[in-house]
Structure 1
Amino acid sequence: MSEIQMILLILVAAYAGMESVVDEGQGHRPLIACTLVGLVLGDLKTGVILGGTLELMALGWMNIGASMAPDSALASVIASILVIVGKQSIGAGIAVAIPIAAAGQVLTIFVRSITTFFQHLADKYADEGSLRGIEMCHFLAWMLQAIRVAVPTALVAAVAGTHGVEAMLASIPEVITRGLQVAGGFIVVVGYAMVINMMEAKYLMPFFFLGFVMAAFTNLNLVGFGIVGAILAILYIQLHPRYNQTNSDVDELDL
C-alpha cells in the first residue's frame, strides 16, 4: 500500500466518522464507505459488492432514542481494507465486520460522552455571545468523530496484508463465517420488515410478495427485477382509479 493510498484511506475514514453523526451525505453507510475504500485501493468491484452486502445488513441498524446502533462506518472501512488488501472473501469481510461494528458502537458511545464537555463549553460561549466560540465547539466535537474512525483505520491499514493478519483471517473456521452470513441474512429480513412497517404501505404488499415468488422460481437478476418493478409501477398508476379521475370527477370532489 502506497503512502498516498494510506492518506486517502485515513481521509475516507475521517469522512465516514463525521457522516456517522451528521447523516448529510450518508457517507457512513456501508455502500458508500466500502465503495470509496475500494476506489482508493484500486478494487472498486469488491468494494461495491462488500458494501452492498453490508448495506442490506445495516438496514436494521438505527439509533432509537438513547440506544446506539452498531457502528457501520468503522465496520465498513476496516472490513473493506481487510478484504481487499488481505485478499479475503466477502464472507470473511462479514465475519470481521459484525464484531468491529459492535466495538465501534462502544467507541462512539465513549466519544459522544466526551463531547458533552463541548456542549457545556458552547453554553458558556452562548452566554458570552461568542458565535465563533460556539462554532469552534461544534467543529472540535465533530473532529472527535473523525478521529474515532481514522485512528483505528490507520492502525489496521498499517498491518493489513502482512502474513500475520492473513493467517489470522484464514484461521477463521468456515462454520463461523458461514454462520455469520446466514445471521446477516436474518438481519436483512429484519431491516426490510422495519422499513416496510414504518412505511405502512399495506396496499403495496402484493407486489412485495410477488417479488419474493419471482426471486424463488425464476433466474432473473437485479436488472431484470428492476425492469419488471418499473413496468408494474407504471401499470399500477395507469389502472388505479385514484390516478385516472376524469375532469368531472375532480370537479365533484372539489364540490
Structure 2
Amino acid sequence: MYDAFVTALAVFVGVAFHELFGLGMFSRPIVVAPLTGLLMGDVQTGLLVGASLEAIFMGVVNIGISGSAEPALAAGLATAFSIKMGGNTHAILPLVFPIAVVGLQLLNMIFSFVCGPWASKFFKYAEQADEKKITRLHFGMWFVHFGLYALIPFFAVLLGAGAVKTILNSIPHVIMNGLTVAGNLLPAVGMAMLMQMLWDNKIAIWFFFGAILMAYLKLPLIAIAALGTVIAIAIAQRDFQLKKMSNKTILATDNDSTTDSGLNSEEEDFFK
C-alpha cells in the first residue's frame, strides 16, 4: 500500500506541478523517477530509470491536448516496478512507452469528460466578477484532474506489474508493434529536435568535434561535457578581450575626431 501511495504521489507532483507553474518540466522522467525512488528508499534505481527514460522522452513535448505520450506516469511505474524487481530496469523499460501513450489518452479523457462540463461555471462567475469562486473552482478542478490521474499508478502498483502487463497484452499486436517502433525512434527524434533548435553553421564544427571524440577516441559523455565547458570559457574570454580592444579603438577614434574638430574650429576663428 505504501509503495502504491508514494508512486501516485510522485506522479501527481510531476503532472500537477508541471501545469501549475506553467510547464515547469516537473513531469520529466529525470524528476519523477528519482522522486519515486527517494520515497521508496532506492534513489539509485530512480536515477538510473530517470536517465534512461529521459533519453527516450527527450523529444516529447505535449502542448495542450495535442501530444504523443505522458512521461510522468511511465517514469513513476517504471521506477516502482524496477525497485520491486530488485533493480532490474531492463525488464520493465519495454513496457514504458505503451504505458505513457495510454496514460496521455486517459489524462485527456479526464480533462474532457470530468473537468470540461465545469467550463460554463467559469463564464458564469466571470460575468458576476466573483474572483474568489473562480479561484476555488480553478484549483478544485486542478486537484480533481490530476488526483484522478494519480489513481492510475496507485492501482497499477497495488495490483502489480503482472496486471499491467495483462492489460497491455490485451491491446492488438498491430498497435503494440507500432508503439514499439515509435518508442525505439524516440531517442533519435529527441536528439534531432534539439539539434534543429540549436544548430548554427558558425558553431557546427564543434558538433563534429564532439562526435569524433566520442566515436573514435571513446571518451565518456562527462569528459566531453567537461572539455566543452573549458572550450566555451576560453572562447568567452577571447571574445571579451576582443570586445574591450574594439571599445578602446572606438574611444580613441572618437577622441581624435573631437581633437580635430577643436583644431578646425580654432583655425576658423583665427581667420575670421
TM-score by length of 2: 0.76
Look up the match of 2:121: 121
Task: Tell which deviates more after alignment, 235-244 or 29-38.
Answer: 235-244
What pairs up with 1:1-255 in 2 under 5 angstroms?
A: 3-22=1-20, 23=22, 25-64=24-63, 67-87=66-86, 89-114=88-113, 115-160=115-160, 164=162, 184=183, 186-240=185-239, 244-246=243-245, 247-249=247-249, 251=251
Task: Report the more deviating stretch, 150-159 or 232-241.
Answer: 232-241
Whole-angstrom CA distance in 2 between matches of 1:245 and 1:51: 44
* Post-superposition offset of 1:127: 0.8
Where does the alignment leave 5 or more consecutive residues of structure 2 unmatched? 170-175, 258-272
Distance 2:61 2:239 in 1: 35
The percent of aligned pairs where both chains have the same amino acid is 25
Deviations 1:211-253 (A, max 9, x none): 1221112233233122111111112223448954412345499
CA contact (8 A) 1:85 1:160 kept: no
Moved over 6 A (4+): 252-255
What number of residue pairs does the alignment pair up?
243
Q: CA contact under 8 A between 2:45 and 2:83: conserved in structure 1?
A: yes
1:249, 1:26 → 2: CA distance? 46
Residues 14 and 241 of structure 1, relative CA distance in 2, 3 Å threshold: closer
What TM-score, normalized by structure 1, do the two folds share? 0.81
Taking only aligned residues, the RMSD between alpha carbons, in angstroms, comes to 3.2
Higher mean C-alpha deviation, range 27-36 or range 198-207: 198-207
For residues 224 and 248 of structure 1, what CA distance do their matches in structure 2 show?
38
Residues 144 and 242 of structure 1: CA distance in aligned 2, closer, same or farther (over 3 Å): farther
By how many angstroms is 1:6 displaced?
3.9
- Which one has the largest radius of gyration? 2
Q: CA deviation at 1:20?
A: 4.2
